[in-house]
Structure 1
Amino acid sequence: MEKKYNKVVLAYSGGLDTSVLIPWLKEHYGCEVIAVSGNVGQGTELDGLEEKALKTGASKLYIEDLNKEFVDDFIIPTMQAGATYEQYLLGTSFARPIIAKRIVEIALKEGADAICHGCTGKGNDQVRFELAIKAFAPHMDVIAPWRFWELNSREKEIEYAEKHNIPLKINKETNYSKDKNLWHLSHEGLDLEDPANEAPINKPGFLELGVSPEQAPDVPTYVTIHFEKGVPTAVNGEEMDSVTLIQTLNKLGGENGCGILDIVENRLVGMKSRGVYETPGGAVLYAAHQKLEEITLDKETQHYKQQLALKFADLVYNGQWYTPLRKAMSAFVTSTQETVTGDVKLKLYKGNIIPASVTSPYSLYSEDIATFGEDHSYNQADSAGFINLFGLPLKVRAMNDLALQEKTGAGFPSVE
């Protein structure tokens, strides 16, 4: 027998899954449904959402503006870490924890018995939502209908919606599974499920944040980004808040066909999945930040940070944002950003992001030392002693090898 609930808070986007969930929950549990939407930059997707939620049976809808917190506390720290998951810039991944945390806060305020989400049992988002719920409301029940309900395909969901007069912006022919926020837009499903099919990035209406490289202008666009301690603060000399800055870079990057990624990734739940991601501003920002770190970080810090970036990306992708390890890693990353201040100029051209110049008051690059011309800062004769010490283990092994060959006719195993 199904457990009974009086009040359920639903993570509500107004998309296919959550649109059918409001009447479905009321039918199966006889409960009040409170819908919660986290505004992380979906734009027009939020238009008419309250009317739709109430009309389909919700008692109320919260629309929470999380944009600034999303950028300042999630996007920028992840960018500073240089974290990418198999080239993917983690657009959906770090949006889920912030939304889930706010949903928990509302559920506790409303005295809800359970939280419901529309994530499938095959996806990563179920983990990201539920780990955040466990972090802030460990005793809260979670309803995940995709694990057991009868609407076990998007086609059946559409049929259910049509039967219950639930308005949808998609149909059976155009129902790519999409996720959009301030940082990115993802596309999955339909013809993309076969990696043998080329992604239809030139098809009108497929891309939403920009154009394909083929359709980008024939002349490059130059953009200069200023950073203060690893935080981007200005574009082309104009200071702007963090949300506006991302929007500005999205426009510039999108117009020039930048930030389009087509990959088959390894999902947390064990399967491989094909997706096409649009992250125009994010791709530009990552490239600029990396270029600035090249001249402001010492070798050991830069190399160790690159190792940390892999683990940081795994934590974000796997929904482990609210963990002691991620917090500690972010503290390390923040400490590395003390000198990451300066300007980076990039050339955007038909999907390419090409470095044009980089300057910083903390630059560790010395033209006087690095020059191929005459200099008075570097004694090239010092290199002989350095090579003798650096190569000493190799020299000792070779000497011992020769001695063994003379004694036994056999030396150390070959290292070739």
Structure 2
Amino acid sequence: MSKINKVVLAYSGGLDTSAIIPWLKENYDCEVVAFVADVGQGEEELVGIEEKAIASGASACYIADLKEEMVKDYIYPSLKTGAIYEGKYLLGTSMARPIIAKAQVECALEIGADALCHGCTGKGNDQVRFEGAFAALAPQLTVIAPWREWNLRSREALLDYLAERNIPCTASLEKIYSRDANAWHVSTEGGVLENTWNAPNELCWVWTKDPQQAPDVAETVSVLVEKGEVVAVDGEPMTPYNALHYLNSKGAEHGIGRIDIVENRLVGIKSRGCYETPGGTIMMEALRAVEQLVLDKESFEFRQTLGLKASHLIYDGRWFTPLCQSLLAAANTLAQDVTGEVVIQLYKGQATVTQKRSGNSLYSEEFATFGEDDVYDHSHAGGFIRLYSLASRIRALNSQK
């Protein structure tokens, strides 16, 4: 092992990172500092986490509250692009990784650490996301990925490893599902989901109510958007995180934001997951509704292109790259006119826009009406169509010669 003096570990308090702390000390003979990112995974996940890290052998444990910053500086910019990975996934895990990695790097630089460590496996996307961010922000720091080095290959092996060292751990041998949660979403993988012919059971869903058991009466929420950002809900001005938290509660009650997908991981493996993004689904519907009013055809098409490309850059862990920042800047420019109010009906798993208005709207009732009007001469359409189809006409005439 290369000589490491102090390493900052992205610590969750789970079985893997609890075992990583003593493993680092034994194999690298270094000081281990635990870094915990509060990205809205839930207070129950953070209770006693500092004591747990110290008991595992960490010299210190730093907890950073990143919830508001994550929504404001990472989720909202992503929303403006319309990024949806492979047509369905709202990038819940992906959008949390850049800010966690950035805060971890800042912690390491502040305390004089010479290495960074994460608990990602060698099969997943997160190892790329973390290490891509590390490379962009602090290439001078050594990166340690225990799952690519150690010979602990099972949950049982990890538990035995901790037991042999008398390190307390509340984890059990059986862990049916793998979950990841933050303010934006919660994901569930493993268990029955590993067979794509198995339908999800009730344990596959954590936040949202089964749409079949959701209220029989629809509920509406009013969302105010300014320059592509949600600034108020139901008439109350809210910070980005508070708006998301409020909409999560509303959406979850009505079973909003459930998806069951098989996605293409960056490393080439397909994986299946059940994802819940109730508040995010409502926010996305609100922004797209205002866009329909204010963006012209070419601008909307370009925004769709931005969203497709941004979804892959964010999913692939390329947030801190010039291309990703350029796409975010372009989307932000388009969003300058995306201001308006939207009313969304929540009912048994569906978030349906029922009303929308904007002072920047390009929609004109006078032009769109099927009734009589004084602003549109139907005869003008003939010349437009003749010019619009001129290339087709010339091609057909050539073929007749």
Q: Tell me if TM exceeds 0.5.
A: yes
Match of 1:92 in 2: 93
Provide the rounded CA distance (Å) in 2 between the counterparts of 1:185 and 1:24.
Answer: 29
* Matches for 1:245-260 after TM superposition, within 5 Å: 245-260=243-258
Please report how far the alpha carbon of residue 163 of structure 1 lies from its aligned counterpart in structure 2 after TM superposition.
4.5
Corresponding position of 1:126 = 127
Q: Superposition pairs for residues 181-330 of structure 1, below 5 Å? A: 181-200=182-201, 202-203=202-203, 206-330=204-328
On the 8 A contact 2:7/2:117 being kept in 1, the answer is yes
CA contact (8 A) 2:219 2:347 kept: yes
* Alpha-carbon distance between aligned partners in 2 of 1:266 and 1:71, rounded to the nearest angstrom: 25
CA deviations over 1:14-39 (Å, ceiling 9, x no partner) = 12221211122122222211000111
The one-character-per-residue Cα deviations of 1:380-405 (angstroms, maximum 9, x if unpaired) are 111111111111111112122122xx
> Shift of the alpha carbon at 1:169?
5.3
> Compared with structure 1, are the counterparts of its residues 9 and 400 closer, same or farther at alpha carbon in structure 2 (3 Å cutoff)?
same
**Equivalence for 2:372:** 374
**Can you give the 5+ residue segments of structure 2 that lack an aligned partner in the other structure?**
none
Partners of 2:159 and 2:90 in 1: how far apart? 31
Structure-2-length-normalised TM-score: 0.96
Distance 1:128 1:305 in 2: 24
Distance 2:372 2:218 in 1: 36
Deviation at 1:168?
Answer: 4.8
Structure 1 residues not aligned, in runs of 5+: 404-416
Q: Which amino acid aligns with 1:145?
A: P
Task: State the match for 1:81 in structure 2.
Answer: 81
Match of 1:338 among 336, 339, 353: 336
Aligned position for 1:410: none
Cα deviation for residue 354 of structure 1 reads 1.0
Deviation at 1:167, TM superposition (A): 4.9
- 2:175 counterpart residue number: 174
- Counterpart position of 2:15: 16
The superposition leaves residues 145-166 of structure 1 with CA deviations (integer Å, 9 ceiling, x where unpaired) of: 1112111233432443454455
Do 2:185 and 2:277's aligned partners in 1 also have CA atoms closer than 8 Å?
A: yes
CA distance in 2, matches of 1:69, 1:357: 30
**Separation (CA, whole Å) in 2 of partners of 1:100 and 1:291:** 33
Shift of 1:122: 0.6
Aligned pair partner of 1:393 in 375, 391, 394: 391
Alpha-carbon distance between aligned partners in 1 of 2:206 and 2:281, rounded to the nearest angstrom: 16
> Residue type of the partner of 2:74?
F
Quote the offset at 1:339 in angstroms.
Answer: 1.2
Runs (4+) of structure 1 exceeding 6 A deviation are none
Counterpart Cα distance in 2 of 1:172 and 1:384: 74
| Distance apart, 1:64 and its partner CA | 0.6
Computed over aligned residues only, the root mean square deviation of the Cα atoms, in angstroms, reads 1.4
1:139 maps to 140
- The amino acid that maps onto 2:206 is E
| Residues 55 and 168, structure 2, Cα contact 8 Å, conserved in 1 | no
Tell me whether 1:59 sits opposite 2:44 in the alignment.
Answer: no
Q: TM-score, normalised by structure 1?
A: 0.93
**Rg comparison, structure with higher value:** 1
Q: Which amino acid aligns with 1:83?
A: A
Q: For residues 113-152 of structure 1, what are the alpha-carbon distances to aligned partners after superposition, in whole Å with 9 as ceiling and x for unaligned?
A: 2111100011110011111111111121111011121112
Work out the CA distance in 2 between the residues paired with 1:38 and 1:18. Answer: 13
Q: Partner letter of residue 79 of structure 1?
A: L
SS of equivalent residue, structure 2 residue 93: coil
C-alpha deviation, 1:171, in angstroms: 2.9
Q: Is the 8 A contact 2:205 2:274 kept in 1?
A: no
